[in-house]
Amino acid sequence: MIFTLLYADGFFMLSRNFRLQKVGDLQWLKKNYNFSKISFSIDELIILDVSREERDEESFLDIINSLTEECFIPIAAGGGINSLEQARQRLYSGADKIVINSLIASDQELIHELASEFGSQCIVVSVDVKKINENFTVWTQSGQTRQKERLDTWLRKIIKLPVGEIYLNSMDQDGTGQGYDVELLKYLPTSLMTPIILAGGAGKYQHFARGLLDAHVDAVATAHLFNFVGDGLEMARNKLLEDGFDLARWNVTEAINMRNIFSKADVNENK
């Protein structure tokens, strides 16, 4: 289970079909989502800078750093990465992985350089897909630029690159809470070995379950800030566990105690 945060221009966003609505700043997020607790309900956190205008990279790095202080789970950060140094700064700020999208179209050589320096397991490729006239089309630049290749051709291009995961996202289902578009999975290459994260449309735990039941899917994601607010993510995970899905089980009390012990040890060492 993966939780995706969309960030732009100083605020976290709610997205519906890639149309953004401002929700709240970092303080709003921390007030409504206790990440020291939520960390036990998800397996990974993805933070994407989806700014449509000029990005404030320094502010985004501060956001990554702030959230990593409360999360012990892996964090992937993406949005507008176009250089090795930019990727380094994301990782130095606390991210464990980087998420790329437009580089597939603009600079595949840089993808090889990123993999050479950080390892292919560090790279997540986001693929944004929209259905037009019964054809699945691929979009980059935060959903603003349509690519000429069909989805199956685009995916075959990706699997030739040194990347660790594919984040397959339906723009049509995005933010609807009506469930994933599992039809996208039919376009995956038969030789695919790269793990697939299915995204776009999750609104309740049954949607997570439907995604995870598909043999092509390795993880499911949601970016909906309201459908899983409060204890929503915890409740969804517990129901999946009750249904027999093979997810990590945490002894929350014991894990928190151990984390506090290590945190105190780090403080004493720094002193």
Q: Are 42 and 73 spatial neighbours (Cβ–Cβ below 8 Å)?
A: yes
Cα–Cα distances (Å) from 57 to 2, 3, 7, 15, 267, in that order, read: 24, 22, 11, 21, 29
- Residues 97, 124: Cα–Cα separation, whole Å: 7
Q: Are 221 and 46 spatial neighbours (Cβ–Cβ below 8 Å)?
A: yes
Provide the β-strand partners of residue 3: 45, 222
Q: What angle do CA 88, 62, 260 make, to 5 degrees?
A: 95
Residue given tokens 């002894």 in the structure block = 251
- Residues 151, 156: Cα–Cα separation, whole Å: 9
- Of 196, 255, 194, nearest to 38 (Cα)? 255
Rg (alpha carbons) of the chain, rounded to whole number: 18
Which residue among the candidates 43, 56, 62, 128 is catalytic per the annotation? 128
Q: Does the annotation count 96 as an active-site position?
A: no
- Residues 238, 244: Cα–Cα separation, whole Å: 10
C-alpha 211, offset from chain centre: 15
Q: Are 197 and 44 spatial neighbours (Cβ–Cβ below 8 Å)?
A: no
Q: Cite the active site residues.
A: 128
